[in-house]
Amino acid sequence: MLKKILFNNQVKSQLIIAAVGSFLGFTFLITSIHYLIRVNEFGEGEEILGSNSIIIQKKVSNYNTINLAKTDFGENEIDHLDQQPFIEHVEPILSNSFGVSFQTDSDLVPYFRTDVFVQSVNSDFLKFDSTLWKWSEGDEFVPIVLPREFLVMLNTFASAKGLPQVSDELAKSIRFKFKLYNDNSSEYQAARIIGFTSEVSAILVPSSFMEYGNLGFPTAVPAKVTQLMISVKEGNFGTFENFMEERSLESKESSMIVGKLKSVAGTLFGVVMAISIIAVFLASLVLIQYAQLMMSKNAYEIKTLLRIGYAPKSIIQAIIAYFIKVFALISVLAATSFILLKFIIDGIMIKGGIMISSSFTFLSFSSVILAFVIYTAVNYWNAQKEILRAR
C-alpha cells in the first residue's frame, strides 16, 4: 500500500532518462576500469633488470652512418665509465658474432623460423633466480628471455594466418631451438623461454652460451660491444643523465613497442574511464534529484502517513528500497553488457596480438558497488532529511 501511495504519481520519463544515463555510465565505467587494469598488467612483472640498472648505447648520427664515428664501446671507454663516482658497476652486453636463427620445435604451434640476434648480460644485473639462468654444454636446453614484442609479432603472424594465439604460459611450454652456424659448420641447441621482457629488444641468453657460440662458430665479423649495462648509485640518476647528455649517450628504455602500446591503450581507457565517472556522477545526480522531486510531490502523502502513525523509518525504507531496486537493475544490466562487450574487446585484443588475462577484475565490479553504496547513502540522507522535516 505504501508503494501505491508513494510511487503512483511518478513522471517516469525522467526516471528512464536517468536510468539510461546511469546504465551507460556504469557499463563504460566497468569496461574502462577492467581494461585499464588488464592493459597495465600486460607485460608486468617482466622487468628483468634491477631498479637502478639501465642499458645505454651511443646516439646514432649521420657520422655513424658514414663510419666517421663509432657506435661501439672500447675497453678504455668502459673503464672510464666504471671510474665515475655515480656509477656502481658497468658490464658490456655481449652480442653474438656467430650466425644464429631461432625456430619452433613443437607440434603444438606452426613452424616459424627467423634469424635473430642474441645478447647476454651478467646475471648480477638480473632479477632472475640465478639457478635458472645458467647453461653448460650438454644441458637439455638453453634458458632464454624473449622480448615481449617478439611474442606480439608471433601472435600477429598467427592471427593473420588464421592460426591459434600463443599465450605466455603456452609459449613457456613450447620447445624452440637455436641454429648456431658459420660458413663451415652448424649445430642445433634446444631452447626454452623462462620469461619475457619489455626492456631489451634482443633474445637474452646466459653468458656461457654466448661464449660457446662465439668460440665454436667464429665468423669474420668481430663481436662488438654496442650496449652497456650500468648500475647507477642510488639517487644519482640526475647526474648520470647529464653525463649521458654530454657524452652523446642514450638509454635504451623508452623505445619499446609494448611500452608505447600500453601507453596508448592506457590513455584511451583512462579517458573513457574519466568520461564514465562524469556520466555516472551526472546520472546519479539526476536520480537523486528525481528521488527528491518524488518526495516533494508526495509531501502531503508523507505528512499524512506520519500523522496516522507510520514511523519515519518505515517510509524512508520504502523509498530507499525502491531506488535500490532501480539501481540494482541498472547495475545488473551494466554488468551483463560489460560481459558482452568484454567478449568482443577480448577478441579484438587477441586479434591484435595482445594476450591479456580473460578473467574478470575485482576492482571493475567494486567500482559499481562503490557507486551503488555512495548513491544509496546520499539518497538515504536526503530521504531522512526530507521526511523528518514533514510532521
Partner 1 sequence: MTITFDHVMPHPLSSIQHGKDSIWGNAFRLEQGQKVVLNASSGKGKTTFTHTLAGIRNDYSGNLLFDKQAVRDINPEHWAIHRREKISFVFQDLQLFPELTVQENLLLKNDLTNTFTEAELKKFLAILGIPEKWDDPCKLLSMGQQQRVAIIRALVQPFEWIILDEPFSHLDKANTELCLELINARCNTLGAGFILTTLGDYHDFTYDKELNL
Query: Site residues (CB under 8 A) for partner 1?
Result: 1, 4-5, 8, 301, 303-304, 306-313, 388, 391
Task: Decide: helix, strand or coil at residue 190.
Answer: strand
Query: Least separation, in Å, of the C-beta of 316 and partner 1?
Result: 11
For residue 11, what is its C-alpha cell? 513522471
Q: Give whichever of 144 and 387 is closer to partner 1, judged by the CB atom.
A: 387
Q: Which amino acid is residue 318, in one-letter code?
A: A
Counting Cα atoms < 13 Å in the Cβ hemisphere of 319 gives: 32
Query: Least separation, in Å, of the C-beta of 11 and partner 1?
Result: 16
Residue closest to 89 by CA, chosen among 46, 56, 133, 58:
56
Q: Give whichever of 93 and 315 is closer to partner 1, judged by the CB atom.
A: 315
Residue closest to 291 by CA, chosen among 330, 324, 319:
319
Q: Which amino acid is residue 9, in one-letter code?
A: N
Query: Least separation, in Å, of the C-beta of 300 and partner 1?
Result: 8
CA–CA distances in Å: residue 371 to residues 23, 279, 290, 335: 12, 12, 17, 13
Pairwise CA distance, residues 283 & 15, whole Å: 10
Query: Least separation, in Å, of the C-beta of 314 and partner 1?
Result: 8
Cβ atoms of residues 228 and 93 within 8 Å = yes
Q: Give whichever of 312 and 352 is closer to partner 1, judged by the CB atom.
A: 312
Counting Cα atoms < 13 Å in the Cβ hemisphere of 296 gives: 8
Query: Least separation, in Å, of the C-beta of 302 and partner 1?
Result: 11
Query: Least separation, in Å, of the C-beta of 12 and partner 1?
Result: 17
DSSP 8-state assignment for residue 126: B
Q: Give whichever of 220 and 308 is closer to partner 1, judged by the CB atom.
A: 308
DSSP assignment string, 37-69: HHHHHTTTT---B-TTEEEEEEPP-HHHHTTSS
Q: Give whichever of 254 and 391 is closer to partner 1, judged by the CB atom.
A: 391
C-beta neighbour count of 221 within 10 angstroms: 12
Residues in the chain: 391
Question: What crossing angle do the helices spanning 257-297 and 312-351 adopt, rounded to 10°?
Answer: 160
Query: Least separation, in Å, of the C-beta of 388 and partner 1?
Result: 5
Query: Least separation, in Å, of the C-beta of 276 and partner 1?
Result: 39
Pairwise CA distance, residues 17 & 390, whole Å: 29
Pairwise CA distance, residues 144 & 135, whole Å: 10
Query: Least separation, in Å, of the C-beta of 385 and partner 1?
Result: 12
Q: Give whichever of 59 and 303 is closer to partner 1, judged by the CB atom.
A: 303
Query: Least separation, in Å, of the C-beta of 292 and partner 1?
Result: 19
Q: Give whichever of 196 and 322 is closer to partner 1, judged by the CB atom.
A: 322
Pairwise CA distance, residues 218 & 220, whole Å: 7
Q: Give whichever of 134 and 385 is closer to partner 1, judged by the CB atom.
A: 385
C-beta neighbour count of 139 within 10 angstroms: 14
Q: Which amino acid is residue 179, in one-letter code?
A: K
Q: Give whichever of 162 and 309 is closer to partner 1, judged by the CB atom.
A: 309
Q: Give whichever of 243 and 310 is closer to partner 1, judged by the CB atom.
A: 310
